[in-house]
Amino acid sequence: MKKLFLILITIFFFFSCEVEEENNNDINDNPNTVYVGDWNFKGNGVSYSGYYTYDSLLNSEWVANVTYTTNYNDSTGSIQLGDNINELIFKYCNSCDPVIYDLNNNGEQQWSESNGNYTGWTLTDSTFFRIVIPSSPGYSDSYTTYDIEGWKL
């Protein structure tokens, strides 16, 4: 009877123990792995400023200065997974500091609207676009815009 009791206790012990699985955020469980890899990023900037000049007869003329810049042109960067499942780490170029982007709870990219201007970023499995500094709303004598584009290699 003692043997049967020990066997039953042993069987009960093995079947009642819950096996804890280690949660190591396995890369195969993360849906954002489609973005991970080497990317080619390019930054495009536009700076605009304008002012009036007047002659001795007080005739005015609008003078505009527009400057176009391109940074990180054809630079190899990368996208990596962050610590949280919604985080992606962007490195726009080899010498650039990494930037962490956070997907919202729906797995969508972040966009916001203010005074008719959209700021934010969008990402597919092969392209990336971010408006960093939007143009100012309405009339302004100066503004700057900066966009970052990326293509997965």
Say how many CA atoms lie within 13 Å of 147 toward its Cβ.
11
**Looking at residue 23, what is its pLDDT?**
43
Token digits of residue 74: 């054809």
* 80 φ/ψ sector (left φ>0, alpha ψ -120 to 50, else beta): beta
Contact between 50 and 142 under an 8 Å Cβ cutoff? The reply is yes
Q: Distance between CA 118 and CA 137 in Å, rounded?
A: 11
State how far the Cα of 91 lies from the Cα of 148, in Å rounded to an integer: 12
Can you read off the two tokens belonging to residue 69? Answer: 């810049």
Supply the pLDDT for residue 109.
Answer: 60
**Rounded to a whole number, what is the distance in angstroms from the first to the last CA of the chain?**
70
Interval 52-67: pLDDT, tens? 889 888 889 888 889 9
Which pLDDT belongs to residue 152? 92
- Predicted local confidence at residue 81, as pLDDT: 92
Contact predicate 79/38, CB 8 Å: no
Residue 45 has a pLDDT of 87
pLDDT the model gives residue 135: 59
Contact yes or no for 96/72 (Cβ under 8 A): yes
Answer whether 0.75 is exceeded by the pTM: no
With a cut of 70, which residues of the chain have pLDDT below it? 1-28, 72-75, 104-119, 132-140
**Residue 23: partners with Cβ closer than 8 Å, 6 or more residues away:** none
